[in-house]
């Protein structure tokens, strides 16, 4: 049984064989007629010239218009030759033979044309079938690749279920739980390195603090996964300190850094928004499947975030909150260095609203904040005028959904109702183009405080 359309297409024999077969069929039938009735080999006296019609019909159906037409002409020539041989005239009995000749030619033409039409249609179907088969084969291959990729992704997610937002939130909670006001790198360097190793799937690394002269302190190094001999003047370490950014094997090769027999896979600085490096994390071992841009990008973001936290721990009074410009500045840097877009939403409250109406709205917004979100209230003479809401790791298209949800909440708030028309919601995209000072201008004769429940 045929399983492919190409098996349904009979292969045409060579042209010389087709010509020979057409000639043999056309001449063989008159010979058969001569054997049957030597006096009338074409059986013209029977009233139906079926013997002559068979050859153009068969040849035309088998090989198409050209061969069918040629066989019909040859049959007409044979009929003329028979008339000359038996009756001494090529066109004997014109009233009988001329319609027969025309009929033979029409039979050959029609049979050949029909064969060509169906052959062309079959060829078109074959072309379409091959195209569909090719697309199906490509789809099957891509499906298999996608299936394997999906299985690998599921295994990765099962082994490392941390998103960037989850990791940053967990880092903040971890840092706050360590009492960072008392030399966090000295007292809690091992715990911080363990946290980085857990979320970036590091197998072996070392955290090396920096002194006040911006020099490495190998004697205070903290190891994870066991110690290994390491050259503290390694070219990748020096490049990280000079460029003040993460250096991995790929970037080192692109920069022409000598990495022959280098034990380091990546060097990540703990750097704040003022580009001060507090320590570096040198990674010496991690799973090959995880040594890609995604994990290195996560490690670089965590290093920058931890550097900002170390900066705030040194410059924030005990029990005080983070400066709003410093918090926004770190997300400006993340947007500039790592293309992590954030939004800064401004909610303006008109003077038509009273404090009793505004304060519940502020509490509602603060209550809906996610783990990394921050908000600040701008007050004038004790009356809230504006609320800043920082939405880290949020794309611009999400603002419409957020604003619509806030408007619905404001409208349903008791005591507000139609007064929500006096509330204006706008936003600014934190994409690294504007500094924190421009995103958060200072307000004369106004106080800015951290919003919390």
pLDDT at 453: 46
Phi-psi region of 350 (alpha: psi -120 to 50; beta: other; left: phi over 0): beta
* Distance, CA of 272 to CA of 238 (rounded, Å): 18
Which sign does the torsion angle of CA 163, 169, 174, 175 carry?
Answer: positive
**Has residue 436 been placed in a domain?**
yes
What are 27's two structure tokens?
């001449």
**Has residue 158 been placed in a domain?**
no
pLDDT at 320: 47
**Has residue 152 been placed in a domain?**
no
pLDDT at 450: 56
* Distance, CA of 230 to CA of 207 (rounded, Å): 12
Whether the full predicted model's pTM is greater than 0.85, yes or no, is no
pLDDT digits (tens, 9 = 90+) for 330-357: 888 888 887 888 899 988 888 778 777 7
259 and 209 in a common domain: yes
Question: Residue 370 sits in a domain of what CATH number?
Answer: 3.30.70.2880
- What phi and psi, each to the nearest 5 degrees, are found at residue 216? -65, 145
Which residue carries 């209550």 as its tokens? Answer: 367
187 and 77 in a common domain: no
336 and 289 in a common domain: no
Residue 319 banded pLDDT, cuts 50, 70, 90: very low
294 and 329 in a common domain: no
> What residues form DSSP beta bridges with 271?
277
pLDDT at 38: 67
**Has residue 139 been placed in a domain?**
no
Helix (H/G/I), strand (E/B), else coil: 428: strand
pLDDT digits (tens, 9 = 90+) for 128-184: 888 888 888 888 888 888 888 787 777 666 655 566 677 777 777 777 666 655 667
Rg (CA), the chain: 44
400 and 300 in a common domain: no
Paired sense of beta strands 383-391 and 222-224, if any = unpaired
pLDDT at 124: 85
pLDDT at 147: 85
Rounded to the nearest integer, the mean pLDDT of the chain is: 78
Q: How far is CA 251 from CA 34, 234, 255, 284, in A?
A: 93, 15, 6, 16
Number of other residues whose CB lies within 10 A of the CB of residue 238: 15
Residues 71 and 59 sit within 8 Å (Cβ to Cβ): yes
Q: Give the number of domains in the chain.
A: 3
What is the extent of the structural domain holding 255? 166-315
Nearest to 200 by CA among 255, 246, 262: 246
Residue 1 banded pLDDT, cuts 50, 70, 90: very low
Which sign does the torsion angle of CA 322, 324, 329, 334 carry?
Answer: positive
DSSP designation for 225: S
Q: Where are the alpha helices (H) located in 90-219, listed in sequence order? A: 94-159, 164-176, 184-200
* Distance, CA of 324 to CA of 317 (rounded, Å): 14
> Higher pLDDT residue, 381 or 437?
437
Nearest to 116 by CA among 164, 61, 160, 163: 61
pLDDT at 252: 85
Q: Where are the alpha helices (H) located in 316-354, listed in sequence order? A: 324-338
Nearest to 416 by CA among 351, 360, 347, 348: 360
pLDDT at 191: 82
339 and 297 in a common domain: no
Residue 93 banded pLDDT, cuts 50, 70, 90: low
């Amino acid at each position: 049984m045929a399983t492919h359309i190409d098996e349904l297409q009979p292969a045409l024999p060579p042209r010389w064989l087709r010509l020979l077969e057409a000639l043999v069929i056309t001449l063989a039938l008159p010979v058969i007629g001569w054997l049957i009735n030597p006096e009338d080999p074409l059986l013209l006296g029977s009233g139906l010239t079926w013997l002559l019609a068979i050859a153009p019909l068969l040849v035309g159906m088998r090989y198409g218009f050209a061969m069918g037409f040629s066989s019909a002409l040859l049959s007409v020539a044979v009929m003329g030759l028979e008339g000359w041989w038996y009756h001494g005239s090529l066109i004997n009995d014109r009233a009988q033979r001329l319609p027969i000749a025309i009929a033979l030619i029409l039979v050959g033409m029609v049979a050949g044309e029909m064969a060509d039409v169906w052959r062309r249609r079959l060829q078109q179907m074959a072309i379409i079938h091959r195209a569909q088969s090719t697309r199906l084969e490509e789809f099957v291959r891509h499906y298999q690749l996608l299936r394997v990729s999906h299985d690998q992704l599921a295994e990765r997610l099962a082994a490392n279920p941390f998103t960037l937002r989850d990791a940053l939130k967990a880092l903040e909670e971890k840092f706050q739980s360590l009492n960072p006001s008392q030399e966090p790198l000295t007292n809690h360097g091992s715990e911080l390195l363990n946290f980085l190793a857990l979320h970036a799937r590091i197998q072996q690394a070392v955290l090396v603090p920096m002194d006040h002269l911006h020099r490495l302190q190998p004697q205070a190094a903290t190891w994870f996964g066991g110690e290994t001999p390491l050259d503290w003047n390694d070219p990748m370490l020096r490049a990280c300190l000079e460029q003040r950014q993460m250096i991995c094997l790929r970037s080192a090769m692109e920069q022409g850094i000598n990495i022959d027999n280098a034990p380091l896979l990546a060097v990540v600085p703990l750097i704040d928004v003022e580009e001060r490096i507090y320590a570096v994390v040198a990674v010496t071992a991690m799973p090959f499947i995880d040594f890609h841009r995604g994990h290195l990008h996560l490690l670089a973001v965590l290093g920058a975030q931890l550097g900002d936290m170390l900066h705030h721990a040194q410059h924030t009074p005990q029990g005080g909150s983070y400066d709003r410009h410093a918090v926004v500045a770190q997300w400006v840097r993340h947007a500039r260095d790592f293309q992590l877009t954030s939004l800064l939403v401004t909610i303006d409250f008109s003077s038509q609203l009273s404090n009793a109406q505004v304060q519940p709205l502020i509490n509602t917004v603060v209550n809906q904040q996610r783990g990394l979100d921050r908000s600040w209230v701008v007050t004038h003479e004790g009356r809230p005028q504006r609320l800043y809401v920082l939405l880290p790791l949020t794309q611009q298209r999400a603002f419409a959904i957020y604003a619509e949800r806030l408007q619905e909440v404001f409208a349903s708030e008791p005591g507000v109702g139609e007064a929500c028309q006096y509330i204006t919601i706008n936003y600014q995209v934190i994409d690294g183009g504007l500094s924190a000072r421009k995103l958060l201008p200072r307000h004369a004769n106004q106080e800015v405080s951290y919003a919390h429940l």
